[in-house]
Amino acid sequence: MKIKKLNLSNRAKMGGVAWIISAVALALAVLLNILANVLAERYNLAADLTPDSVFRLSKESADYVSAIDKDLKIIVLAKETDYTGSGSYFSQANEIIRQYAKISDKISVSYVDLLEKPTYLSSTYPNLTANSGDIIIDSGEKQNVVSPNSLINQDYDYTTGASTITSKAEQTMTSAIMKTLSGVSVKVMFLTETGEQPMGAFSDLFSANNYEIEEKSLVSGEIDGADIAVLAPGRDLTKEEVGKLDKFLENGGNYGRTLFYFGSAAQPETPNLDAFLKDWGLGVDRQIIAEGSANKIFGQGADDAALYFFADPVADSEYAVSSTGVGVAVPYTRSVSVYFESQKNITVKPLVATTDSAVAINMETSETAQSGPYTVLAMAQKLISDTADPSAEPKQSQIIAGGSNWLVSGESGQSYISEAAFSNGDYFINITNKLYDSDAGISIAPKSLEPGKITVTSFQALFLLFAFVILLPVIMLVLGIVLWAGRKNL
């Protein structure tokens, strides 16, 4: 009887110890889980296993953000649950937004529901125009607003006809942060009252890449106060208006100015503009280009398909840029003449050209001219040396002339410059960044959130079969036997 009492006592003790161990293990598991969540919330500990790492910042963004030495606030004007619940792309955008604070302790992220705090904007940011769902980037000295629509990009692949929605949250947010923290911005002026073609997409491209945007009439008043001017007129200019362009480029002898000029197939004859451009060694010809190389045409099936094509940047140009796009889209473009390569202090160089299979169609007679290649975008640079200091860097202004306004815009709501299928956006922002030594444009390809497929090799399939069908059950069986034998001997 004494032995039985002793066994019962031992069993009771072992049972108590087992309960204590279980309780301690459970408490440790809970504490570790809480600690892991806190650390993951503050630091970048999570692993992103998606093919394109859609929930993590690229190396370019991470390097920039980690070097930030100023305090910056990112304020999302919505409840976090409402924001992430708006769809998978906003859920991904929210994770990207949180990544900035995880990488840099100078950045904070907060959420403000305007329904709960209706006076928040008027009291905190009285001079800022923002709406529910917008994101405010605030450095204390400067603020910028990011709209939710700018976080998403709809691409149309002209080579396949497929339409996809991709996320450009990282590109937009990183550019907005750079724009907010930048002390000096390059100003871009869009000239109006010239019967101008729509330039909204070009303006959006500059705005997203840390350039300040303004509109100014070419008819009334002087055009000044900007570094870059954009002109896509639907009519000829008067001699007075041409004189304003000359004065703008000369900049009181300081130069340092750029004029983007885009012709169009709809323009009437423009003798005053033609004379102005010719003085710079450029001309936008009265002929439309049709591409003869089938693999360059994206307007498949249309009667005027050959007029919808993409061209390649001149290979030896310093402005050539690598891109995920198939080339620079130049639909319904006129050719651009280069009248001389160098004359006095002006040098002229082609930037984008067709293949030698392209032909030119006269805009008046519809007659077809000889085969190409034809230049469709060119640059003329005027270099002025400092006579007082010959060793000083020459001052320069330039005109970049294109044969089609669709190079930087589009038709029927489509925008060639913002679509990842083409290189237009990367190419033009690369030109301006190089001309003005700007580091504002970090180019980050849009990311698709479509679920990827996991491919498994034959070896991996056999290993998984062995591990989960044979090895794991054997291990569990052995552990069970060991535990059973141990409890039996208590």
DSSP structure string for 350-391: EEEE--TT-EEEETTT--EEEE---EEEEEEEEEE--TT-TT
- pLDDT tier at 125 (50, 70, 90 boundaries)? very high
Q: How many helices (H) and strands (E) does the chain have?
A: 12, 20
pLDDT computed for residue 49 by the predictor:
45
Q: Which of 32-46, 284-298, 453-467 has the highest mean pLDDT?
A: 284-298
Q: What is the DSSP letter of 300?
A: T
pLDDT of residue 423: 82
- CATH entry 3.40.50.150 includes domain 53-183: no
pLDDT in tens, 359-409: 999 999 988 887 879 999 999 999 988 777 777 788 999 999 999 998 888
Domain layout of the chain by residue ranges: 1-42, 53-183, 192-422, 456-490
Q: Which residue has the higher pLDDT, 110 or 200?
A: 110
pLDDT at residue 18 tops 80: no
| 302-306, 310-314, 354-358 — most confident range | 354-358
* CB-based contact 64:107 (threshold 8 Å): no
pLDDT at residue 76 in the model:
96
Q: Say if residue 12's pLDDT is above 50.
A: yes
Rounded Cα distance between 374 and 133, Å, is: 47
Cα 230 versus chain centre, distance: 21
Per-residue b or e along 150-171, where b marks 16 or more CB atoms closer than 10 Å to that residue's CB:
bbbbebbebeeeeebebbbbbb
Per-residue pLDDT band at 6 (split at 50, 70, 90):
very low
pLDDT(291) > 50: yes
For the chain, the distance separating the N- and C-terminal CA atoms, rounded to the nearest angstrom, is: 17
Distances (CA, A) of 199 to 134, 191, 240, 281: 24, 10, 24, 25
| pTM, entire model | 0.67
